[in-house]
Amino acid sequence: MARRGKKKGRPVSGWVVLDKPVGLGSTEAVSKVKWLFQAEKAGHAGTLDPLASGMLPIALGEATKTVPYVQDGAKIYRFTVAWGEERSTDDLEGPVTKTSKKRPSQEDVQALLPQYTGVILQIPPQFSAIKIAGERAYDMAREGAVVDIPPREVEIGRLDIISHEADKTLFEIECGKGTYVRSLARDMGRDLGCYGHIANLRRTEVYPFTADDLVTLAELEAAIPPPPEEGEERAPGVRFAAIDQLVVETLAALESLPQVPVGDDAAHRIRLGNPVVIRGRDAPVEADEACITARGQLVAIGAIEQGMFKPKRVFTN
């Protein structure tokens, strides 16, 4: 029988709410954060384009089990649409494909916004991570193919104009999972008859995280002390003491779920995969999903049926 390899890295768990800089890809950002923390595993909750900046929640360790709950959370972006040009990538990266001398007034743009709020159909950009017949759309587009991407339903809670100039408009949007802001710029430009593309894009929030949770790569790097000098002795854990203080607890990702505290005995049974009866005046009798805590720490996510909690995902730390 083959032996299982020993896990590499530290068993650190929680969320790093990274303020991703322009030019860094999401996968590259995850790798960088994983290396800084020497974490066993890491993953992100929602891709952010290299030319975009802002909030990229990165899960470490056991927090990777909560990624779907953050991916489903509402997101807020601030973005600038430059009018007069459409580009192959719908942002500054691609070449210009269409041009127009027409420029919209603020009133023209404002009148269009109701068409882009609520549940709408949206076609993702040609250069996107959408899979078509098993291939990424951006791989096919880079080979010169015109990708037939079917429209998808997305939900936009609000879309506001922050400022307007002759050649560009600054917007703020609150939207649901799967919304492509680049597609909005493309489609609004076509509807206005002047074409448009994203000139600047920043994600400011991903529910339940806020701007107060943001941390930069520079702050993470500064929290790692330099290597010890020859002969210098350091207590175990000193290297990661400061950087670990920048981690947001795993439980923070589950703000949308009912949270039920239990005692140590019940927590132990749940961690072994056993159902337990939930007690307490405020404990829900029925819940499709709820999370169990003990001593303020996340124990499990599961369903509550007739006052019985049945674990689906169990957390060890």
Which positions are catalytic?
49
Question: Can you give the three-state secondary structure of the chain, one letter per residue?
Answer: CCCCCCCCCECCCEEEEEEECCCCCHHHHHHHHHHHHCECCEEECCCCCCCCEEEEEEEEHHHHHHHHHHHCCCEEEEEEEEECEEECCCECCCCEEEECCCCCCHHHHHHHHHHHCEEEEECCCCCCCCEECCEEHHHHHHCCCCCCCCCEEEEEEEEEEEEECCCEEEEEEEECCCCCHHHHHHHHHHHHCCCEEEEEEEEEEECCECHHHCECHHHHHHCCCCCCCCCCCCCCCHHHHHHHCCCECHHHHHCCCCEEECCHHHHHHHHCCCCEECCCCCCCCCEEEEEEEECCEEEEEEEEECCEEEEEEECCC
Residue from 61, 24, 72 nearest 248 by CA: 61
Residue from 10, 22, 58, 11 nearest 209 by CA: 58
Residue 291 near residue 300, CB atoms below 8 Å: yes
Amino acid letter, 314: V
Residue from 244, 242, 311 nearest 39 by CA: 244
- How far is 48 from 45, CA to CA, in rounded Å? 9
